[in-house]
Amino acid sequence: MKNIQKALFLAVMGAGLMAPVQAEEVHMIMCGGEIREADQVVISAFEAKYSGVTVNAEAVPWGTCQDKSMTLAAAGDPVGLAYIGSRTLKQLARSGLILPVSIGDDQQAMYQPGVLNTVTDGGQTWGFPHAFSTKALFINCGLVEEAGMACVAPKTWTGMYAMAKAINDNTSAAGIGVTGKDFDNTMHQFLNYLYSNGGSVNDAATGEITFNSPETIETLEFYGKLAGVAQEGPMGYERGQLTQLYNDGQIGMYINGPWGAGQHNDNIAEIVVPIPAGPSGSSGTLLITDSIAVFKGSANEDLAMELAMMLSSGEAQYDLDKSWGLTPIMQYEKMMDDVYYTTDYWQTFVAPIGSGGPEPMFEDFKALQAGINGAIQGMILGEGSAADLVAEAAEILAEGN
């Protein structure tokens, strides 16, 4: 009996002594499947600043990451912060699962035009923008020349289609890579064309759906036309798979972000050009951001907010953009003289920022994808006129808005 009493006493004493030194933990989910070196540097600095606090940074692939973050929050076990697509923020905010964030005036002034629109809803900012991309058209000049054409940037859809058709007809490759798989970047590809034709998805100020327009119908028709000179079975492909086809010389061109050059084989002679303009618009691009959202109800909300701010602030953010080959999210030239994006290649991605359109924010962001992808797939399959498919998609978008 005495031994039992001793054991209990020691256990209680031990627990009492352990409690004060028990580390606090900030749980962070990082979409993309890896913790990037530039982010790890900040995380280490954060842990050094807050002794006894550890950051449990969990890298999760994009395919399941956002669902995991959202489901954990909905189930009452939220992570501290998560790096996720900004398109999810409206749904998270309106569901009361994330906290509004405060970005200082100085930092707000530094962001590229349009960036803050991708994280703002109802007059409040819901995430720290952390990654930014614009898109351009990559063209394999070897295939263009093999098709008997000069490898110069097509300025319009007409020129682009003519080039793709020439490659398709005169080489063993398909003219262009077109996505049609039920995946977010299928919608993204389409929005690049839509924004280059003067179209829009919704009115940013009122939220009214503006998708059902002549510009969208024209864009969808063009997308269907492109599918006719694209790789076989576009509905089996998302952008990552197009990169493989491009590297294998099986498609003549496709749309990708600034990281594209780093993914392509060195032996491909390519040009990178702005997305050609549609008949009703001028060259544009889709502006996509990913953000760091701070979840409501985690054990360490304040620490999570602090970490989110550190990750997305000035120099740390610059290091990330530069090391990962992202479109600069801020106008770093105002901060420093020597920036990484002064080359012609980078200007192809930086110049269209002002004329780009945002990835729309929807309360049901999956409806956005389902609606637009449904129209694209319907067009590729020939299951209705572009006008009908756009009208059907607009209905789905209205339900999800």
One of 294, 378, 394, 401 touching other proteins (CB under 8 A)? 378
- Give the binding range for other proteins (CB under 8 A) out of 20-28, 94-102, 146-154, 322-330: 94-102
Would you give the DSSP letter of residue 223? H
Q: How far is the CB of 72 from other proteins (least distance, A)?
A: 11
Q: Which CA distances in Å does 318 have to 14, 186, 311, 313, 330?
A: 46, 29, 10, 8, 8
Shortest Å, Cβ 161 to other proteins: 21
395 vs 386: CA distance, rounded Å: 14
Query: Looking at the DSSP assignment, which residues form a beta bridge with residue 293?
Result: 82
Q: Is 33 in the site for other proteins (CB under 8 A)?
A: no
Rounded least distance, CB 401 to other proteins, Å: 14
CA distance 271 to 171: 18
Give yes or no for residue 236 binding other proteins (CB under 8 A): yes
**Is 296 near other proteins (CB under 8 A)?**
no
Candidate segments 121-129, 235-243, 308-316, 331-339, binder of other proteins by CB under 8 A: 235-243
Instruction: Return the residue of 233, 302, 333, 342 that touches other proteins, per CB under 8 A.
Output: 233
Nearest distance, CB of residue 241 and other proteins, angstroms:
9
Q: What is the longest distance spanned by two Cα atoms in the chain?
A: 96
CA gap 275, 345 in Å, rounded: 14
CB burial of 189-213 (b: ≥16 within 10 Å; e: otherwise) equals bbbbbbbbbbbbbbebeebebbbbb
- Tell me the number of residues near other proteins by CB under 8 A: 34
State which of positions 174-213 bind other proteins (CB under 8 A): 180-182
**Region 302-361 residues binding other proteins, contact defined as CB under 8 A:** none
With CA atoms as reference, report the closest residue to 293 among 84, 117, 33, 31: 84
245 binds other proteins (CB under 8 A): yes
381 binds other proteins, rule: CB under 8 A: yes
Which residue stretch of 42-50, 89-97, 137-145, 256-264 sits at the interface with other proteins (rule: CB under 8 A)?
A: 89-97
Whole-number Å distance between alpha carbons of 94 and 100: 11
Residues 6+ positions from 184 with CB-CB distance below 8 Å? 85, 369
For residue 163, how many other CB atoms are within 10 A of its CB? 27
Closer CB to other proteins, 156 or 263, in the complex: 263
What is the binding site for other proteins (CB under 8 A)? 67, 70-71, 73-76, 91-92, 94-97, 180-182, 231-237, 245, 248, 250, 364, 366-367, 374, 377-378, 381, 383
